[in-house]
Structure 1
Amino acid sequence: MKKSKFSEHQIFNILKEYESGKATKDICREHGTSAATFYQWKQKYGGMDAQHLKELKVLQEENARLKRIIRN
């Protein structure tokens, strides 16, 4: 899977722009993303705050570590 050029914090900030009332097409044009990517981000990260984002990152790292242990 291709790694995103945007970090979770950048995605979080982009979604905050949307929540503040900025149009989706303007956000996508400004950041160079497609509308489909934006809506995938919205589905995955929508409604999160900074604390939830940190918890998600920790869980993803732990999950990756456990998968490496199982594969070896």
Structure 2
Amino acid sequence: MRKSRFTEQQIIAMIKEHESGMSTSEVCRKQGISDATFYKYKAKFGGMSVSDAQKLKALELENTRLKRLLAETTLDVAVLKDLARKTTDARREAPRRGSGDEGP
């Protein structure tokens, strides 16, 4: 994922400028962003304080780490099941020794 040019603090400051009465176009021109980018930031960070934004980022990082661990674990389970199935199939197909059916 691409990293933003702005920190959470800067984004929240932009939103607060807008809430204090500055027009959207002025805030966007001042910061060098598009209206769409501003509204995307506002949807994500609107009504948050800086500490809330930092907690959100920490939770997102933790969620990403947990998703990666889950994917790795699921892959490990799939590999182990496949290996167990192949081992079971190989044992079924192998000739049995000492069954007495063989000639002298």
TM over 0.5: yes
CA RMSD of the aligned region, Å? 1.4
Q: Give the C-alpha shift of residue 6 in structure 1.
A: 1.0
For 1:3, what is the secondary structure of its paired residue?
coil
For structure 2, which runs of at least 5 residues remain unmatched after alignment?
A: 73-104
Q: Which residue of 2 aligns with 1:39?
A: 39
For structure 1, which runs of at least 5 residues remain unmatched after alignment?
A: none
Deviations 1:20-70 (A, max 9, x none): 111110110111100000001111111112232122122112112212323
Q: How many equivalent pairs are there?
A: 72
Query: Residues of 1 paired with 2:33 and 2:51: CA distance?
Result: 25
Percent identity among equivalent residues? 49
Hey, which bits of structure 1, 4+ residues long, moved more than 6 A? none
Pick the structure with greater CA Rg.
Answer: 2
For 1:48, what is the secondary structure of its paired residue?
coil
TM-score normalised by length of structure 2: 0.62
TM-score normalised by length of structure 1: 0.85
